[in-house]
Amino acid sequence: MQPFETLYVDTKIAACNGGGGAAGHPLVYLNVGPNNRVECPYCSRLYIYEKAKHDSAKKAPAAVGHP
């Protein structure tokens, strides 16, 4: 099953409220794990540590015609 939404964060702690408003959930603080990602137990949003995104982009070759 795919996560509901993937968000990139620049700290090792992600704050999630499910999108706020009446459809949200209580504010929780999630610790990004050693794999540089954490999933919210309430809404299944996936948070990925931003530095990991940039590191993987440096390692992967760019596709033709893709910046």
What residues does each domain of the chain span? 1-42
pLDDT > 90? residue 61: no
Q: In this predicted model, what pLDDT tens digit does every residue of 9-58 receive, in sequence order?
A: 999 999 999 987 777 899 999 999 999 999 999 999 999 998 756 565 55
- What is the pLDDT at residue 24? 87
DSSP E strands in 1-67: the ranges are 6-9, 13-16, 28-31, 37-39, 46-49
